[in-house]
């Protein structure tokens, strides 16, 4: 064992010796282990949070539903409805709804002109009246089947129990509906696509060109530095501020343009896809510029010098070397901006995304909804069934975002260069 040395006794202090070295190392290692454990627990907390999120969503999206028909199809016809002719179907419809309603349908669109599917749909909606009377979460569906069956037998003796995935093909293509099981995100997906398209058409070229100018042409003067600082700050501005800006400028001030009044569209106000797209473009533009600048800056100076050294002009250097080499980076950033725009909700609420749109948009001057708004809407509705629809929509949104990010990563790796 070493003898304890008073550090003060030595002019140069005391460095551990003998057994002290081992003690010292053990203490240092222990400290390291503790920190490692703290880092690891943070990771575990993160993973737990993610797991809980996914569990809740999936739990809501799948499970048993109790379905009850006002009238069973077997009572209407001995054969399956799909095999009947259009005329037979019309007869069934006439027999089971009030004459007034039948006349109204005929007025909307004469039965002679309707397709068989359209008639079948009317029968399903008005006569059979398939209705979900109860829905259950995935966990209980899997673990407590007997209890669910007992409950349903007791409370809805006529109802049939079936396993249902709220996320299905119809869900992706159908528009919003007031009946949860008939509701879909088709128009929200389309709305998102429209908005993203407008956002990208505007933000990508402006962002790249602005980035090129700032990086390659702008000199280091106070006004360019001011612009730079502002762009960096704009990227950090809360998105709702952009919503308020969009509301003031695009929805109100530029209403003739954004409502399409200038182009002869009359049935609209400024709360259109165009306004939303313009607002979103404003929101992602600073991101695009910053990202383009970073991608351009990552192009090594040596490549530029080589180009200049051969007698290339600035433009030739930018066009032949800087842009091609920065493109993968710019593309990656564009995709990330796109996913940002895709998930953004707040500014669109302010700009005026409609929460209940049952038709599909077909021009930029249409009212619109987008996936996150739809989710927001459904989660604020009463009833467990809308929550399930929301969960299914969340899955759609998450998968889309994951795909976008994966594409970005793939692009980055694919074009990773060795200079």
Partner 1 sequence: MTVAELSSINTTQTNGRYAVELQNTHIYYGSFRAVKDVSLQIERQKITAFIGPSGCGKSTVLRAINRMNDLIPGSRLEGRILFHGKNIYDPDVDPVEVRRRIGMVFQKPNPFPKSIYDNIMFGPRINGWRGTKAQADELVERALRGAAIWDEVKDKLHQPGTALSGGQQQRLCIARALAVQPEVILMDEPCSALDPISTLKIEELMLELRRNYTIIIVTHNMQQASRVSDYTAFFLMDADRAGQLIEYGPTEEIFTSPKDKRTEDYISGRFG
Tokens 């293509």 correspond to 173
Least gap, CB of 232 to partner 1 (angstroms): 21
What single string gives the DSSP state of each residue in 49-94?
HHHHHHHHHHHHHEEEEEEE-SS-HHHH-SS-GGGS-HHHHHHHHH
Least gap, CB of 229 to partner 1 (angstroms): 19
- Of residues 261 and 303, the one with the C-beta less far from partner 1: 303
C-alpha 318, offset from chain centre? 35
Residues 6 or more apart in contact with residue 41 via CB below 8 angstroms: none
Least gap, CB of 7 to partner 1 (angstroms): 39
Least gap, CB of 417 to partner 1 (angstroms): 5
Least gap, CB of 191 to partner 1 (angstroms): 41
- Of residues 259 and 325, the one with the C-beta less far from partner 1: 325
In whole angstroms, give the CA distance from residue 221 to residue 282. Answer: 25
Of 223, 349, 198, the C-alpha closest to 278 is 198
Q: Is the distance from CB of 242 to CB of 287 less than 8 angstroms?
A: no
What single string gives the DSSP state of each residue in 85-117?
-HHHHHHHHHHHS-HHHHHHHHHHS-TTTS-HH
64 strand-pairing partners = 163
- Of residues 113 and 220, the one with the C-beta less far from partner 1: 220
Reduced to 3 states (helix: H, G, I; strand: E, B; else coil), residue 390 is: helix
- Of residues 128 and 322, the one with the C-beta less far from partner 1: 322
Phi, psi of 115 (to 5 degrees): -85, 165
Least gap, CB of 317 to partner 1 (angstroms): 9
C-alpha 400, offset from chain centre? 6
- Of residues 1 and 310, the one with the C-beta less far from partner 1: 310
Q: Is the distance from CB of 368 to CB of 273 less than 8 angstroms?
A: yes
- Of residues 222 and 419, the one with the C-beta less far from partner 1: 419
Least gap, CB of 230 to partner 1 (angstroms): 22
Q: Would you tell me the crossing angle of helices 323-343 and 384-414 to the nearest 10 degrees? A: 170
- Of residues 247 and 331, the one with the C-beta less far from partner 1: 331
- Of residues 271 and 321, the one with the C-beta less far from partner 1: 321
Least gap, CB of 302 to partner 1 (angstroms): 4
| Chain residues in the site for partner 1 (CB under 8 A) | 219-220, 300, 302-313, 316, 320-321, 325, 417-419
Residues 6 or more apart in contact with residue 166 via CB below 8 angstroms: 60, 61, 62, 388, 389, 391, 392
- Of residues 43 and 306, the one with the C-beta less far from partner 1: 306
- Of residues 41 and 305, the one with the C-beta less far from partner 1: 305
Least gap, CB of 228 to partner 1 (angstroms): 15
Alpha helices in 184-272 (DSSP H): 186-212, 222-234, 239-246, 255-258
- Of residues 199 and 317, the one with the C-beta less far from partner 1: 317
Phi, psi of 159 (to 5 degrees): -75, 150
Tokens 């700009």 correspond to 351
Least gap, CB of 220 to partner 1 (angstroms): 6
In whole angstroms, give the CA distance from residue 251 to residue 257. Answer: 9
Least gap, CB of 299 to partner 1 (angstroms): 10
Tokens 């490692």 correspond to 36
Of 288, 292, 378, 295, the C-alpha closest to 341 is 288
């Amino acid at each position: 064992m070493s003898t304890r040395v008073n550090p003060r006794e030595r002019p140069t202090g005391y460095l551990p010796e003998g057994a002290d070295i081992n003690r010292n190392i053990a203490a240092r290692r222990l400290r390291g282990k503790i920190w490692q454990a703290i880092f690891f627990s943070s990771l575990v907390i993160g993973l737990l949070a993610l797991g809980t999120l996914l569990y809740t969503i999936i739990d809501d999206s799948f499970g048993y539903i109790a379905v009850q028909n006002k009238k069973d199809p077997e009572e209407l016809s001995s054969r399956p409805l799909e095999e009947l002719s259009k005329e037979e179907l019309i007869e069934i419809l006439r027999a089971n709804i009030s004459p007034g309603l039948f006349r109204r349908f005929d007025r909307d669109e004469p039965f002679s002109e309707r397709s068989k599917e359209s008639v079948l749909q009317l029968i399903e909606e008005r006569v059979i009246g398939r209705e979900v009377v109860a829905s259950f979460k995935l966990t209980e569906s899997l673990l407590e089947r007997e209890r669910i069956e007992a409950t349903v037998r007791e409370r809805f003796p006529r109802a049939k129990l079936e396993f249902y995935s709220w996320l299905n093909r119809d869900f992706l293509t159908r528009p919003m509906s007031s009946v949860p099981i008939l509701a879909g995100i088709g128009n929200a997906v389309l709305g998102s696509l429209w908005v993203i398209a407008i956002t990208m058409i505007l933000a990508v070229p402006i962002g790249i060109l602005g980035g090129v100018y700032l990086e390659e042409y702008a000199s280091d003067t106070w006004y360019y530095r001011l612009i730079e600082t502002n762009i960096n700050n704009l990227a950090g501005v809360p998105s709702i501020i952009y919503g308020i800006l969009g509301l003031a400028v695009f929805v109100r001030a530029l209403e003739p343009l954004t409502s399409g009044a200038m182009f002869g569209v009359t049935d609209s106000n400024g709360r259109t896809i165009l306004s939303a797209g313009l607002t979103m473009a404003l929101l992602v533009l600073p991101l695009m510029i910053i990202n383009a600048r970073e991608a351009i800056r990552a192009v090594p100076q040596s490549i530029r010098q080589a180009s200049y050294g051969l007698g290339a002009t600035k433009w030739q250097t930018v066009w032949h070397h800087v842009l091609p080499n920065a493109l993968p980076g710019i593309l990656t950033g564009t995709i990330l901006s796109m996913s940002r725009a895709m998930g953004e909700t707040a500014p669109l609420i302010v700009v005026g995304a409609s929460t209940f749109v049952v038709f599909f948009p077909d021009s930029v001057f249409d009212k619109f909804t987008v996936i996150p708004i739809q989710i927001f809407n459904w989660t604020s509705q009463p009833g467990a069934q809308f929550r399930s629809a929301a969960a299914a929509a969340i899955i759609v949104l998450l998968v889309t975002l994951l795909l976008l990010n994966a594409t970005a990563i793939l692009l980055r790796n694919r074009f990773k260069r060795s200079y």
